[in-house]
Amino acid sequence: MPIKIAVPKETAQGERRVALDPTVAARFAKLGLEVMIQKGAGRDAQFPDEAYADTRVVDDAKTLMSEADIVVKVAPPTQEEVNMMKDGATLIGFFHAHKNTDVVKALQKKKITSFAMELIPRISRAQSMDALSSQAAVAGYKAAIMGADLSCRFFPMLTTAAGTIRPSKVLVIGAGVAGLQAIATARRLGAIVEAYDVRSATKEQVESLGAKFLDLGVKAEGEGGYARELTDEEKAKQQEALAKFISQCDVLITTAAIPGRPSPMLIPQKMVDGMKSGAVIIDLAAEGGGNCELTKPGKTVTKGGVTIHGPLNVPSQVPLHASEMYAKNLLNFLSPVLADGKLNLDWNDEIIAKSCLTHDGEIKHDATRSLVEGDQK
């Protein structure tokens, strides 16, 4: 009997992505797996059921999940979805376990082996599996588009019969994957772009995209590609130095987010008060509360002529390409462990060991285990 891999229709509000696009689904079929997809699962990403060749379309989630050996998802599963799965099956997707401890307990109870895409270690060998990076690239691109859309100004310099329009000035805070993509997109749109990151190693990347790197004298290199938390003294120095540049920009894009933790507050209200009328803030860290003190996650607000936009689940706004990228991350993660048509998990492999959330009734991720055990006391 071949391994059955299933793609349910996403149920999270506003989620338009699908875990497997037709091309990657066909690749799994060629690996000897039986691919099943719930009816309409790819519709919101513009993949009709007919596009999934060599794939069995199943009418309802319960039938699909109960048959599957491996279930692949995008958004975190619900308890109901976990309960539909057969005991001992494998589930792969984003989990955000710190927000969903009840789901983790359900996984533990049913002895489901779960792998969290957000836990994949940031090592060179795992770059092709890094879904955080692939989806952050989508978000960064979209952030620049949002900024241009909400701004009352043109991005590029325009020479017209009515005179010359000066280009907009865009400031990007955070030069990770999302920030770099925001920089590149804003530059393509013709804006003058400046960028800041506490990791000095990003200076070369920022400048390679044609933007100016702001050296504010605050550096905080951390582990795993992330910045360490700033001291109170460093935060004060950073905000004081940033205030001048923020007051001059037309669009501010903030991307400073730490998985599993609240987003650092970088832009207090007094800094917003100093911005020019008509300026726009796109806060990509809204999922974690936001980098701006005035950000309302999922909403657009105006304060003193400044528009603050706190979008949620931005990759879902570009569902076709976001799904294609995510599907390839899943393929690259699963292909090495599907030798001979069987699921062969090497627990000595750093990627497998560190991305595993639960297995055989145990919570394998230390931070999540401590959190769940704390809830039970």
Which residues belong to the active site? 122, 127, 130, 133, 226
d(CA 278, CA 302): 10
Long-range contacts formed by 364-369: CB under 8 A, 24+ apart: 365/97, 365/116, 365/119, 367/98, 367/260, 368/97, 368/98, 368/101, 368/104
Q: Which residue has the tokens 């308890």?
A: 79
Residue 91's H or E segment, with its range, is strand 90-93
Per-residue H/E/C for 284-326: CCHHHCCCECCCCCCCEEEECCEEEECCCCHHHHCHHHHHHHH
Angle between helices 101-109 and 366-376 (to 10 degrees): 100
Query: 10 Å Cβ neighbour count for 62?
Result: 15
Q: Is 128 exposed, middle or buried (0-12, 13-18, 19+ CB in 10 A)?
A: middle
Q: Is 340 exposed, middle or buried (0-12, 13-18, 19+ CB in 10 A)?
A: exposed
Amino acid (1-letter code) at residue 118: E
Query: 10 Å Cβ neighbour count for 77?
Result: 26
Q: Which residue has the tokens 């927000």?
A: 99
d(CA 114, CA 108): 9
